[in-house]
Protein backbone atom coordinates (compact mmCIF):
# COMPACT_ATOMS: atom_id res chain seq x y z
CA UNK A 1 0.00 0.00 0.00
CA UNK A 2 1.24 3.49 -0.88
CA UNK A 3 1.76 5.95 1.98
CA UNK A 4 2.45 9.64 1.39
CA UNK A 5 3.52 12.09 4.10
CA UNK A 6 2.09 15.59 3.70
CA UNK A 7 4.59 18.20 4.86
CA UNK A 8 2.63 21.32 3.99
CA UNK A 9 -0.25 22.95 2.19
CA UNK A 10 -0.18 26.25 0.33
CA UNK A 11 -2.26 28.30 -2.09
CA UNK A 12 -1.16 28.15 -5.73
CA UNK A 13 -2.14 31.53 -7.25
CA UNK A 14 -1.44 30.35 -10.80
CA UNK A 15 -4.23 27.76 -10.58
CA UNK A 16 -6.26 29.34 -7.72
CA UNK A 17 -6.16 26.03 -5.81
CA UNK A 18 -4.79 24.71 -2.54
CA UNK A 19 -1.94 22.24 -3.07
CA UNK A 20 -0.39 19.73 -0.67
CA UNK A 21 3.26 18.72 -0.89
CA UNK A 22 5.76 16.33 0.61
CA UNK A 23 8.92 14.50 -0.39
CA UNK A 24 8.64 13.83 -4.12
CA UNK A 25 5.05 14.94 -4.68
CA UNK A 26 2.94 18.06 -5.11
CA UNK A 27 -0.75 17.86 -5.98
CA UNK A 28 -4.01 19.74 -5.68
CA UNK A 29 -5.82 19.26 -2.39
CA UNK A 30 -8.90 17.97 -4.26
CA UNK A 31 -6.77 15.32 -5.97
CA UNK A 32 -5.32 14.25 -2.60
CA UNK A 33 -8.86 13.86 -1.22
CA UNK A 34 -9.81 11.67 -4.20
CA UNK A 35 -6.70 9.51 -3.73
CA UNK A 36 -7.36 9.15 0.00
CA UNK A 37 -10.92 8.02 -0.75
CA UNK A 38 -9.46 5.53 -3.23
CA UNK A 39 -7.25 3.83 -0.66
CA UNK A 40 -3.98 5.79 -0.70
CA UNK A 41 -2.80 6.38 2.89
CA UNK A 42 -1.80 9.92 3.78
CA UNK A 43 0.07 10.92 6.91
CA UNK A 44 0.81 14.44 8.13
CA UNK A 45 4.27 15.38 9.34
CA UNK A 46 4.51 16.74 12.87
CA UNK A 47 7.12 19.19 14.14
CA UNK A 48 8.85 16.49 16.23
CA UNK A 49 9.39 14.23 13.19
CA UNK A 50 6.51 11.85 13.86
CA UNK A 51 3.50 11.48 11.58
CA UNK A 52 -0.24 11.60 12.25
CA UNK A 53 -2.87 9.67 10.28
CA UNK A 54 -4.93 11.68 7.78
CA UNK A 55 -8.58 10.88 7.13
CA UNK A 56 -11.28 12.20 4.80
CA UNK A 57 -14.14 13.88 6.66
CA UNK A 58 -16.82 16.50 6.07
CA UNK A 59 -16.54 19.99 7.50
CA UNK A 60 -19.42 22.07 8.85
CA UNK A 61 -20.34 23.12 5.29
CA UNK A 62 -20.60 19.54 4.03
CA UNK A 63 -17.37 19.72 2.00
CA UNK A 64 -14.90 16.84 1.96
CA UNK A 65 -11.64 17.74 3.70
CA UNK A 66 -8.46 16.05 4.88
CA UNK A 67 -8.32 15.99 8.68
CA UNK A 68 -5.51 15.08 11.06
CA UNK A 69 -4.07 16.16 14.41
CA UNK A 70 -4.02 19.94 15.01
CA UNK A 71 -0.29 19.71 15.82
CA UNK A 72 0.60 18.65 12.25
CA UNK A 73 2.55 21.21 10.22
CA UNK A 74 0.06 21.27 7.32
CA UNK A 75 -3.03 21.54 9.55
CA UNK A 76 -4.83 24.48 11.08
CA UNK A 77 -5.88 24.58 14.73
CA UNK A 78 -8.95 22.42 13.92
CA UNK A 79 -6.79 19.71 12.35
CA UNK A 80 -7.98 20.52 8.81
CA UNK A 81 -5.31 20.37 6.12
CA UNK A 82 -5.69 23.61 4.18
CA UNK A 83 -3.60 26.52 2.99
CA UNK A 84 -3.17 29.39 5.42
CA UNK A 85 -5.32 32.42 4.60
CA UNK A 86 -3.85 35.10 2.36
CA UNK A 87 -3.51 38.29 4.37
CA UNK A 88 -3.39 41.52 2.41
CA UNK A 89 -1.86 44.55 4.02
CA UNK A 90 -4.38 47.25 4.77
CA UNK A 91 -4.42 50.18 2.40
CA UNK A 92 -2.99 53.32 3.92
CA UNK A 93 -3.72 56.50 1.99
CA UNK A 94 -0.72 58.31 3.44
CA UNK A 95 1.60 55.66 2.00
CA UNK A 96 0.33 56.26 -1.54
CA UNK A 97 0.12 60.02 -1.83
CA UNK A 98 0.96 62.07 -4.87
CA UNK A 99 3.66 64.68 -4.35
CA UNK A 100 2.27 68.22 -4.20
CA UNK A 101 3.91 70.83 -6.41
CA UNK A 102 5.07 73.88 -4.52
CA UNK A 103 5.36 77.21 -6.33
CA UNK A 104 7.82 79.54 -4.65
CA UNK A 105 7.09 82.48 -6.96
CA UNK A 106 4.09 83.82 -5.07
CA UNK A 107 2.55 83.81 -1.62
CA UNK A 108 -1.09 83.63 -0.67
CA UNK A 109 -2.30 86.13 1.91
CA UNK A 110 -4.91 85.03 4.39
Query: Is 73 inside a domain boundary?
Result: no
Task: Give the start-end residues of each E strand in 23-100.
Answer: 25-28, 41-45, 51-53, 55-58, 64-67
pLDDT in tens, 13-71: 898 899 999 989 999 999 999 999 999 999 999 989 899 999 999 999 999 999 999 99
Query: Is 53 inside a domain boundary?
Result: yes
Q: pTM of the prediction?
A: 0.72
| Structural domains counted in the chain | 1
Q: Which domain holds residue 61?
A: 3-67
Query: Is 51 inside a domain boundary?
Result: yes
Looking at mean pLDDT, say which of 55-59, 85-89, 104-108 comes out highest. Answer: 55-59
Query: Is 21 inside a domain boundary?
Result: yes
Query: Is 93 inside a domain boundary?
Result: no
Query: Is 103 inside a domain boundary?
Result: no
Query: Is 39 inside a domain boundary?
Result: yes
- Collapsed DSSP state (helix, strand, coil) of residue 96: helix
Query: Is 77 inside a domain boundary?
Result: no
| pLDDT band for position 85 (cuts 50, 70, 90) | confident
- Position 9 scores a pLDDT of 92
Assess whether pLDDT exceeds 90 at residue 110.
no
Task: For CA atoms 47, 15, 3, 57, give the dihedral sign.
Answer: positive
Amino acid sequence: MVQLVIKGCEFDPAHAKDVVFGDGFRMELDQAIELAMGGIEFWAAEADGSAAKVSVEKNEYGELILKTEPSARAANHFGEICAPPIVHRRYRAEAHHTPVQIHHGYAVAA
